[in-house]
Every structure is written in C-alpha cells, then in structure tokens.
C-alpha cells in the first residue's frame, strides 16, 4: 500500500509532549447571559432589527419580524400536539419555510430532526418507527403513508411561503395514529436538535445535540468569522446534514441574513460563484468536493466574500494566491456539534500535502490515543478522541452512547468524557492535527459519511438478494463512488441492477446509493474469513481493463468512439467514473455520474473544447455519443459567431 509523504513514518518529528490540545475557554455572548438560550439570542435581533432581512431567496426577502410571525404560526399550530422534548421530523428543503419551522420548534422546546425533502419512503418509515417520531413536517405528497392515510392520522396545514428556489408548494404537520412504541427512545433533557448519522448495524444512528454545545459552537464561530449584523450567510448545505444548522443559527443569532441558493449551484461552480456575487454572500460553507471544484478554477471577483469554510471530507487542494476569501478547513463529527477543529489554509504552491484539520475550537479538548486508549506522543498516529463543551449529549441509544462516549484517558483534563471518533490522525509538535483516514469501514462519498453496512443492508431488503458487499472505488482525480457486489438468491430470477438501485434509494441518502451493481456467484474472503473488498475491486477493474483492451481504445460496435470529440468525452467520463468499460452508447448518469462528477465533466469539456455547457444539458443526453454531438454543435456555433 502506498503511503503519502505526510503519512510516511518520520514525516513529522516526534517529541516528548503528549498528543493533547485544548481550545480557548468559551466566552459569554454580550447579547445573552446564557449561551444555551439559542432562541433568546435570535429574539434579540427580532426586537432590535425587526425590518432587517433574515432570509433572502433570489428576489424574495423576509425580514426578522416576518420570519418571527411565521414561526409564531408554526408554534401555535402545533401547540398541544407537540410537547417539549418531542422529536419532530422536518422534511423540507432550504427555504424561508424551513427557517420558520426551525424557529417555531425551538419556541415549543421540541427537538428538530432534519430529514431532508426526499429522504426515501422506506428509510423515512424505518427511522420514524424506530425513534417514535409522532409528527412530520413537509410536503404532504412526499410523506409516508403512515402519516397520510388510515384511522387516527391527522394533518395540520401550515401557511408557510411556497415561493423560492426550493420551497414546497404546500406544507403540513402530519401526525401518525397512536402513541410512540414502548421501546422508542426519548431525547435527553436539553436536546435542541437530533441528526442522523450512518450506522454500522445498517440502521442510522440519531445524535442528540444540546443547546449548550450549539451555543458554544456559535460563540466560537461568530468570533472566528467576525460575524456581524448585515452579513449574508449561505444556506446551502443539504438539510439532512448537521452543518446546515450552523449556517441557519449562526446567521439568526448574529443579526445576519440567510441566503438561499438556486439548485444549479450544487453542480456548477460558475453558477455558485455567480450566486455568491449577486447575493453578496460574506460567509459561505461548502462541502469539500464542491469546494475543490471552485478552488481549482480561476478565482472570480468576489469582494463581499470574507470567509469560505470547507468541511465534510479530506481537503486535497490549497487556495491559489488570487483567492481573496479566507479559506478554512473544518473538521467535526455530528457527535461533537459540527466543528471540532479548524485551520486557516494559506496559499502555498510548494506544499503538496493535504491541508491539516487544525487546532481545537473554543471549549474543545482533543487527544490522540493508541489501541489501548493511552495518549500517544505528538508525531505518532492514533485515534482522535474529542471532549469538552462541543460534545453532544450522545445517541438516542443508551448502550451505543456508553460504547462511544467514554471516560477521558489519563492526562486529559477539563472534560468528564470523550467521544471516540474512529478517525486516524496525527498531532504535530505545534498541536495542529493531520487527518490520516478512518479506522473502520466508514467512508466519505461526496462529503457525506457513509457506513458500508448500511448500504449493504439496503440492498439485502430485496427478496432477490442473498447477500451484498459494497466497496469504494476511487477514480482519477480522487473522486469516489460506491460499487455494490450482489449474490442473487439461488434458483430465483436475478433482479435487474436498475431495480436494485431504485429500491436502495428508498433506504439511503442519495450520496450513499452505489453507482453500479455487479452480480457474482461468490465473494472472495480474506485470511480472517471476511469479505475481501480489495479483491472484489481488483477483479472488477481487471475485467473492465480486459473489456477495454478487447476493443482497442474502447468497446466495440456502438460503444466505440467515432470522432475525436467522442474519444475526448469518453476519456473524460472513464476517468471521472473509474470505468474502462464505459462506451459511447452509455448514459452518464446511469453509469454513476452524480452532481460532483457532472461538475468536473463540465470543467473538462470547457478546458479542452472551449464550450460551456450546463449540467441539465449533460444529464438530458441519452448517451455519451449524443453529448459529444452537443459539444460539436456548440463549438461550431461558437466558431461561426467568431467569424
């Protein structure tokens, strides 16, 4: 196995100090005497600047007073049906309605459980039943049948804005029949929100985050970014992921404005930076894969953007000297309230190592331990453990909490417990942390944490699947995709790959859905009797290489390129998707193309052909040959216009 320079033994000198670091002591915000009272900090701005914009969505705008009035309607509509501490699943996208619901639930003392606008009916049903979620808020058409039909179900219409880039046409609070099951967990006292993370048992884990730890995060973040009234904060992160809560409450508790992006910014870096410029965004958060597509392009004129916070995956690119915003590489699991460490990434063309994840935020304690739980010297790799004010309250599962939130190692002070992250890191002599990878099977795909066991379980729900194994395939450029290897049930018809992927989408977030499915008769096993995923990938790649070699430059017949443009498009797509068997008759999206790979394909086509396409145009093409024809047509039109 190859080892990068920054992981190589001796790459950073060891010293006698232990791998323990402490963030500065948390302060107390001036406008609130209790940092845990998030709602009071928001209401300070409602009183002092009621006419200031709280949410902007294109040409639409809602003031603090207007958002507060909407939140009041939400709270009063649910009062008596939703009690303090109740979990309320929120199935909305980024919008003024989402903000109003978040504030309204906070006013009720309910626990905000963000599930995203389209979490998949099977996944949603399983999660809500296991957690005993009595109320879901969202578009009634997209809610599970258990909340829409049957005796005892009911719904309350919420008069929330239907305008905006991602707004639902109608929003209801839907209640399922009957009380929660006796085994349903309850949120610990003081829980402000709960968020799902991928689970090793095939079932998502629910993390309960308290008001105090969120308040501590907001104190640090406001000071770190210099947040002030009038700042415009992006509301871009997907709603099912916890960083969107930092976006939302960081703005509302500092007198800032939340700016909602149009959908195309998720895959088009030019559309993203254009939106930043038009919306005058001053503080932005991006998932790592999207940030890298922005940083690898010429930096546009963005006079308002002061801070760009990047997180969710291992950052491999440093900003160019022309980047005017301060770029920060942030790290933190949901169990430690979004951000635990951060590092200001300077431009340095001579440094090829990935930027570090930095030092602990205010109130955080971090240490690096060996397998026995002992703190290791600085310069030695080990598992990262986190403690201090940033810790969540734990999982909505007491046994799981006890296993992952443990007593601090000897020598670590200032915290009663630490969270075992399962991440492999090394602390430099100056206390800065380098991220080295995972200690288990949990992986990152498009910036989203994915547990392979959960993906495998989703495939095994199908009656035609005896067993599945999922592996991570890395393409040129570092992009990753999931490949599902499936053992069909003997003697039964083999299910179609498209059918399996379609059904898996009902159980998984989109980033966790494998790009391709391979059917096998058996799995290779390693010396310990476990499925050898490396061998699965090696055999799959060898078969793809053999198929490609059999056709010279690619597949024979309809799949072989017939023009220089087809050869270029095929090469770009093969590199991005990591498939040498890809032919010009294949569909880009069906072959595993997602928003990130689409963005990279757009960039590659523009660099090689001088043609600027948009993501919907790429995704509408039936195959790569049609995409190449579109490129030729646009290039001819550009040449003609230049005559």
pLDDT recorded at residue 229: 97
| Domains held by the chain: number | 4
Where is average pLDDT lowest: 8-12, 491-495, 606-610? 8-12
Going by pLDDT thresholds of 50, 70 and 90, the confidence category of residue 349 is low
Q: Both 223 and 275 in a single domain?
A: yes
Q: CA-CA distance, 394 to 537, in Å (whole number)?
A: 36
Q: CA-CA distance, 521 to 507, in Å (whole number)?
A: 25
Q: Both 310 and 428 in a single domain?
A: yes
Q: Which of 417, 440, 463 is the last residue of a domain?
A: 440
Q: Both 154 and 260 in a single domain?
A: no
Going by pLDDT thresholds of 50, 70 and 90, the confidence category of residue 477 is low
Q: Both 42 and 184 in a single domain?
A: yes
578-588 per-position pLDDT tens digit = 777 788 988 88
Q: Which of 422, 440, 458 is the last residue of a domain?
A: 440
Q: Which of 420, 440, 460 is the last residue of a domain?
A: 440
Which CATH number does the domain housing residue 317 bear?
Answer: 3.40.50.12780
439-457 per-position pLDDT tens digit = 876 677 777 778 787 888 8
Q: Both 164 and 85 in a single domain?
A: yes
547-589 per-position pLDDT tens digit = 656 544 444 445 788 899 999 999 999 888 877 778 898 888 8
Q: Both 610 and 462 in a single domain?
A: no
Where is average pLDDT lowest: 355-364, 422-431, 508-517, 618-627? 508-517
Q: Is 136 left (phi over 0), alpha (psi -120 to 50) or beta?
A: beta
Mean pLDDT, residues 411-431: 95
Beta strands 283-287 and 307-311 are parallel
pLDDT averaged over every residue in the chain: 87
More confident residue, 334 or 620: 334
The verdict on residue 605 lying in a domain is yes
| CA separation, residue 476 to residues 153, 296, 361, 571, 596 (Å) | 51, 15, 34, 11, 13
Beta strands 465-474 and 381-388 are unpaired
Which CATH number does the domain housing residue 534 bear?
Answer: 3.30.300.30
pLDDT higher than threshold 80 for residue 526: no
SS (H, E, C) 585-636: CCCCCCCCCCHHHHHHHHHHHHHHHCCCCCHHHHHHCCCHHHHHHHHHHHHH
Q: Both 20 and 57 in a single domain?
A: no
Domain containing residue 456:
442-547
The verdict on residue 196 lying in a domain is no
Angle at CA of residue 499, ends 452 and 290, nearest 5°: 50
The verdict on residue 198 lying in a domain is no
pLDDT higher than threshold 80 for residue 83: yes
Q: Both 377 and 479 in a single domain?
A: no
pLDDT higher than threshold 50 for residue 4: no
Q: Both 406 and 447 in a single domain?
A: no
Which CATH number does the domain housing residue 108 bear?
Answer: 3.40.50.980
Angle at CA of residue 382, ends 379 and 384, nearest 5°: 105
pLDDT recorded at residue 30: 47
Q: Both 137 and 151 in a single domain?
A: yes
As a 3-state breakdown, the chain gives helix, strand, coil percent values, each rounded to 5, of 35, 25, 45
Q: Both 175 and 66 in a single domain?
A: yes
386 and 336 Cβ atoms separated by less than 8 Å: yes
Q: Both 330 and 222 in a single domain?
A: yes
63 and 255 Cβ atoms separated by less than 8 Å: no
Question: CA quadruple 509, 515, 521, 527: dihedral positive or negative?
Answer: negative
More confident residue, 82 or 546: 82
The verdict on residue 297 lying in a domain is yes
The verdict on residue 7 lying in a domain is no
Which CATH number does the domain housing residue 562 bear?
Answer: 1.10.1200.10
């Amino acid at each position: 196995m190859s080892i990068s320079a920054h992981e190589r033994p001796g790459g950073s000198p060891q010293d006698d100090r232990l791998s323990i670091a402490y963030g500065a002591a948390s302060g107390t915000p001036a406008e609130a005497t209790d940092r845990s009272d998030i709602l009071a900090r928001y209401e300070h701005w409602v009183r002092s600047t009621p006419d200031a914009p709280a949410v902007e969505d294109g040409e639409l705008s809602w003031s603090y007073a207007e958002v507060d009035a909407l939140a009041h309607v939400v709270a009063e509509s649910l009062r008596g049906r939703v009690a303090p501490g109740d979990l309320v699943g929120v199935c909305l996208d980024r919008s003024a309605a989402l903000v109003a619901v978040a504030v309204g639930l906070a006013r009720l003392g309910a626990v905000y459980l963000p599930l995203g606008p389209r979490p998949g009916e099977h996944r949603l049903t399983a999660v809500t039943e296991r957690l005993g979620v009595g109320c879901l808020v969202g578009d009634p058409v997209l809610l599970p049948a258990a909340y829409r039909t049957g005796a005892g179900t009911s719904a309350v219409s919420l008069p929330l804005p239907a305008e905006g880039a991602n707004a639902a046409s109608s929003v209801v609070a839907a209640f399922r029949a009957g009380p929660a099951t006796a085994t349903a967990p309850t949120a610990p006292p003081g829980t402000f929100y709960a968020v799902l993370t991928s689970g090793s048992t095939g079932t998502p884990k629910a993390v309960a985050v308290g008001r105090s730890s969120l308040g501590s995060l907001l104190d640090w973040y406001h000071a770190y970014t210099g947040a002030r009234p009038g700042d415009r904060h992006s509301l871009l992160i997907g709603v099912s992921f916890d960083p969107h809560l930092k976006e939302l409450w960081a703005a509302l508790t500092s007198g800032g404005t939340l700016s909602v992006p149009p959908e195309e910014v998720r895959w088009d870096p030019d559309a993203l930076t254009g939106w930043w410029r038009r919306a005058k965004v001053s503080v932005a958060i991006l998932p790592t894969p999207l940030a890298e597509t922005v940083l690898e392009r010429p930096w546009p004129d963005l006079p308002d953007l002061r801070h760009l916070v990047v997180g969710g995956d291992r950052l491999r690119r440093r900003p160019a000297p022309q980047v005017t915003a301060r770029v920060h590489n942030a790290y933190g699991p949901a169990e430690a309230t979004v951000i635990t460490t951060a590092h200001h990434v300077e431009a340095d063309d001579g440094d090829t190592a990935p930027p570090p994840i930095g030092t602990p935020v205010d109130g955080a304690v971090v240490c690096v331990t060996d397998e026995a739980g002992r703190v290791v010297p600085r310069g030695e790799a080990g598992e990262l453990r986190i403690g201090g004010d940033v810790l969540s309250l734990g999982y909505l599962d007491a046994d799981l909490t006890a296993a992952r939130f443990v007593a601090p190692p000897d020598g670590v002070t200032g915290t009663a417990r630490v969270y075992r992250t399962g991440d492999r890191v090394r602390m430099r002599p100056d206390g800065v942390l380098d991220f080295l990878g995972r200690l288990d099977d949990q992986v990152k795909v498009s910036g989203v944490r994915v547990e392979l066991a959960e993906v495998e379980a989703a495939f095994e729900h199908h009656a035609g699947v005896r067993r599945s194994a999922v592996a991570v395939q890395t393409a040129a450029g570092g992009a990753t995709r999931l490949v599902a290897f499936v053992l069909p049930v003997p003697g039964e018809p083999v299910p179609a790959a498209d059918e399996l992927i379609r059904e898996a989408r009902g159980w998984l977030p989109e980033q966790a859905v494998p790009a391709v499915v391979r059917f096998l008769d058996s799995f290779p096993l390693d010396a310990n009797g476990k499925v050898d995923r490396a061998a699965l990938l090696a055999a799959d790649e060898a078969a793809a290489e053999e198929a490609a070699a059999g056709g010279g430059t690619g597949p024979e017949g309809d799949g072989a390129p017939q023009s220089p443009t087809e050869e270029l498009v095929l090469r770009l797509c093969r590199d991005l998707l990591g498939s040498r068997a890809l032919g010009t008759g294949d569909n880009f999206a069906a072959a595993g193309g997602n928003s990130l790979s689409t963005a990279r394909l757009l960039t590659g086509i523009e660099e090689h052909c001088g043609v600027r396409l948009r993501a919907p145009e790429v995704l509408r093409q039936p195959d790569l040959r049609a995409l190449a024809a579109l490129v030729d047509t646009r290039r001819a039109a550009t040449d003609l216009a230049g005559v």
